[in-house]
C-alpha cells in the first residue's frame, strides 16, 4: 500500500473496549481509525457510514456484508472479521470485487462456560431468586438437581464435547446426537449415542451445539418441542437459525417445556417488542458466548496484525 494513509472502521464495539484490547498505535501514521459502538441495521444507513473506509473490522456476524452492501463500498479493500468463519460475509461477492477477507484465531472456552451458566441458572432459578432477594422476598422456588439427570447434546463437536465432560462431572447421564455422529465418536466424547427422537424424549436438559448450514437450518421445530419432556430445559447458544423461533415461543408460552436459555436470536439486537421478552420461563443473554476479555484481546490483536501485514504486502489470515 506504500505510504498512503488509509481509513479504518471498527464496527459493533458494543462495550467500547476494542481500543483497549490491542495496540492500535502500531498503525499510527499509517491509518485513521474510527471505533463505533452502535449497531446500524438499515442497509442505506450502513453504506453511508462505511463508504469512506478502506478497511472494515467486523465483530463476528453482527453486521452482514452481502453483495448489495459490498458493491456499494467503493473504497473497501480489506475486510477483517474476528474468528475464521463468518456466514454474514458473501465471500464470492468479496472476491469478485477485489476485497480481501481475513480472520483471526479464537478462544473456544467461552461458549461452553456460558452454556453451563444457563443450565445452572435455569435449574436453580438464579435470576428469579436473586431478584426476589433484592426486592425483599425470600426463597420463592424449588431448584432442580443436576446429579442423576439426563443431559442431551445435539452436536458433539468442539463445544458439545466440552459440555459433555462437564455434565459427566456433575453426575449427569450424557446423551448425544447429530446428523453425522457415530456411536464410536459419541463414546469418545463421553456420551451415549441416541437418535434424535430418543434424545429429545428422555433428556432433562437439551443443549443445541451445531453449526448452521443448509442441512441443519430449522433442525429443531414444533414437533421436536412436543417430543420433549414438559419439565425439560432447552439451551441454544449456537445459531438462531437452527430453531423454528415461532415454535420455540409457542412451546414456552404453552409450557410445553419448562423453560429455555437463549443467547442467539434471528434478529440481533433483539427487538424490544419480541415475544420472547414476554416469556417468564426463558433466560435471555445478548449473544455473549464469545464475549470475554481474553477472546477480545486475541480478536483485536490479530486484527491489528492482519492490517499491518496487508499494508506491508505480507500474508494475512485468509478466509477461504
135 assigned to active site: no
Task: Find the helix or strand (DSSP H, E) in which 311 lies.
Answer: helix 293-311
Report residue 278 as a C-alpha cell. Answer: 414476554
287 assigned to active site: yes
Report residue 232 as a C-alpha cell. Answer: 425439560
Distance CA 158, CA 150 (A): 20
CA distances from 210 to 105, 177, 181, 241, 249 (A): 20, 10, 11, 10, 20
194 assigned to active site: no
Residue 100: is it exposed, middle or buried by C-beta count within 10 angstroms (0-12/13-18/19+)?
middle
- The one catalytic residue among 60, 162, 239, 302: 239
- The one catalytic residue among 268, 274, 277, 314: 268
| CA-wise closest residue to 269 among 38, 69, 1 | 38
- Do β-strands 259-262 and 282-284 pair in parallel, antiparallel, or remain unpaired? parallel
3-state class (DSSP) for residue 282: strand
Q: Are 235 and 206 in contact (CB under 8 A)?
A: yes
Distance CA 197, CA 21 (A): 44
Distance CA 257, CA 208 (A): 15
Distance CA 155, CA 144 (A): 24
Which residue's entry shows cell 470485487? 97
- The one catalytic residue among 60, 194, 287, 302: 287
Q: Are 245 and 219 in contact (CB under 8 A)?
A: no
How many CB atoms within 10 Å of residue 132? Answer: 15
Enumerate the active-site residues. Answer: 239, 268, 287
Amino acid at each position: 500500500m506504500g505510504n498512503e494513509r488509509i481509513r479504518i472502521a471498527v464496527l459493533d464495539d458494543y462495550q467500547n473496549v476494542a481500543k483497549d484490547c490491542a495496540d492500535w498505535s502500531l498503525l499510527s501514521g499509517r491509518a485513521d481509525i474510527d471505533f463505533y459502538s452502535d449497531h446500524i441495521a438499515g442497509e442505506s444507513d450502513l453504506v453511508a457510514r462505511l463508504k469512506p473506509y478502506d478497511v472494515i473490522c467486523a465483530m463476528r456476524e453482527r453486521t452482514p456484508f452481502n453483495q448489495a452492501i459490498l458493491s456499494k463500498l467503493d473504497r473497501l479493500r480489506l475486510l477483517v472479521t474476528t474468528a475464521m468463519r463468518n456466514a454474514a460475509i458473501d465471500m464470492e461477492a468479496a472476491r469478485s470485487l477485489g476485497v480481501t477477507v481475513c480472520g483471526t484465531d479464537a478462544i473456544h472456552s467461552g461458549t461452553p462456560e456460558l452454556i453451563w451458566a444457563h443450565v445452572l441458572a435455569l435449574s436453580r432459578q438464579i435470576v428469579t431468586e436473586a431478584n426476589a432477594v433484592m426486592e425483599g422476598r425470600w426463597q420463592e422456588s424449588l431448584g432442580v438437581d443436576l446429579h442423576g439427570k439426563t443431559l442431551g447434546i445435539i452436536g458433539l463437536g468442539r463445544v458439545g464435547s466440552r459440555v459433555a465432560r462437564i455434565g459427566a462431572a456433575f453426575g449427569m447421564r450424557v446423551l448425544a446426537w447429530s446428523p453425522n455422529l457415530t456411536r464410536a465418536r459419541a463414546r469418545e466424547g463421553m456420551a451415549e449415542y441416541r437418535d434424535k427422537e430418543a434424545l429429545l424424549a428422555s433428556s432433562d436438559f437439551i443443549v443445541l451445539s451445531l453449526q448452521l448450514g443448509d442441512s441443519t437450518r430449522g433442525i429443531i421445530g414444533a414437533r421436536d418441542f412436543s417430543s420433549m419432556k414438559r419439565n425439560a430445559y432447552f439451551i441454544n447458544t449456537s445459531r438462531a437459525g437452527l430453531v423454528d423461533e415461532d415454535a420455540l415461543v409457542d412451546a414456552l408460552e404453552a409450557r410445553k417445556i419448562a423453560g429455555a436459555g437463549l443467547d442467539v436470536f434471528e434478529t440481533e439486537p433483539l427487538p424490544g417488542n419480541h415475544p420472547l421478552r414476554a416469556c417468564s420461563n426463558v433466560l435471555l443473554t445478548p449473544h455473549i458466548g464469545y464475549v470475554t476479555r481474553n477472546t477480545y484481546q486475541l480478536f483485536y490483536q490479530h486484527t491489528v496484525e492482519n492490517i499491518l501485514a496487508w499494508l506491508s504486502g505480507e500474508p494475512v489470515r485468509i478466509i477461504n
